[in-house]
Amino acid sequence: MWVFLATEVMFFGGLFTAYILYRNFYLSAFETGSRLLNVKIGAANTAVLLCSSLTMALGVRAAQLGKKKLLITFLVLTLLLGLTFIGVKLGLEWRHDYLEGFAPGVHWTFHGTDSRHLELFFCFYFFLTGIHALHMVIGAGILTVLIIMAGRGRFSPQRYNPVEVSGLYWHFVDIVWIFLYPLLYLIGGRY
């Protein structure tokens, strides 16, 4: 799993590098773009995701100790928090951005000197958050399978590897967001 996560670091790393480079090219447009995002929702969603990482870690601990009911409880909590994150991200934020006319190529209403560069910022925004949300959806699928397996009593203190490995993946997706949140929402200068 660690080796897979290393490849994921490269995958997101390429996107981050591209973002840094273009942010450097078109600094003022990218700062405007950051200011157009809702930092309150971003911060709240960060907290939700961190919370889900805590429940996942506690879930792995329950599996290590062989506490089946506790394991299922924590896995369900993690899944619910993950779904909350995806719901807020896609249902609330993306919907809002779309209605405001910030969707490049689909619904773009911004006109101005920086328009093309701002469009580029939103391309990065939708692509980065979209890829991250896709990882979350995959994570939610994995959690569902884990919950079913745990319900059938497939894990024990001797055999809980799937829980631990899925936990690593979940935490990794959390880490990606830990970097996405400041890069997209914060460093535009909100003062």
Partner 1 sequence: MVGHVVHKRLYILVFAALIGLTALTTGVAFIDLGKWNTLAALAIAVCKASLVVLFFMHLRWSSGLMRMVLLAAFVWFAILVALTLSDEFTRQWTPVPSSWQGQVQQQAR
Q: Provide the minimum distance between the beta carbon of 87 and partner 1 in the complex, in angstroms, as a whole number.
A: 20
Q: Which stretch binds partner 1 (CB under 8 A): 82-90, 107-115, 124-132, 158-166?
A: 158-166
Q: Provide the minimum distance between the beta carbon of 151 and partner 1 in the complex, in angstroms, as a whole number.
A: 22
| Spatial separation of the C-alpha atoms in residues 143 and 18, rounded to whole Å | 32
Size of the site for partner 1 (CB under 8 A): 49
Asked if 75 is part of the footprint of partner 1 (rule: CB under 8 A), the reply reads no
Q: Provide the minimum distance between the beta carbon of 101 and partner 1 in the complex, in angstroms, as a whole number.
A: 25
Q: Provide the minimum distance between the beta carbon of 23 and partner 1 in the complex, in angstroms, as a whole number.
A: 9
Asked if 157 is part of the footprint of partner 1 (rule: CB under 8 A), the reply reads yes
Secondary structure of the chain in HEC code, one letter for each residue? CHHHHHHHHHHHHHHHHHHHHHHHHCHHHHHHHHHHCCHHHHHHHHHHHHHHHHHHHHHHHHHHHCCHHHHHHHHHHHHHHHHHHHHHHHHHHHHHHHHHCEECCCEECCCCCCHHHHHHHHHHHHHHHHHHHHHHHHHHHHHHHHHHHHHCCCCECCECHHHHHHHHHHHHHHHHHHHHHHHHHHCCCCC
| Spatial separation of the C-alpha atoms in residues 186 and 85, rounded to whole Å | 19
Site pattern 160..189 for partner 1 (x: CB under 8 A): -x--x--xx--xx-xx--xx-xxx-xxx-x
Site pattern 96..135 for partner 1 (x: CB under 8 A): ----------------------------------------
Q: What are phi and psi of 172, to 5 degrees?
A: -60, -45
Site residues for partner 1 per CB under 8 A: 2-3, 5-6, 9-10, 13-14, 16-17, 20-21, 24-25, 39, 43, 46-47, 50-51, 53-54, 56-58, 61, 64-65, 157-158, 161, 164, 167-168, 171-172, 174-175, 178-179, 181-183, 185-187, 189-191
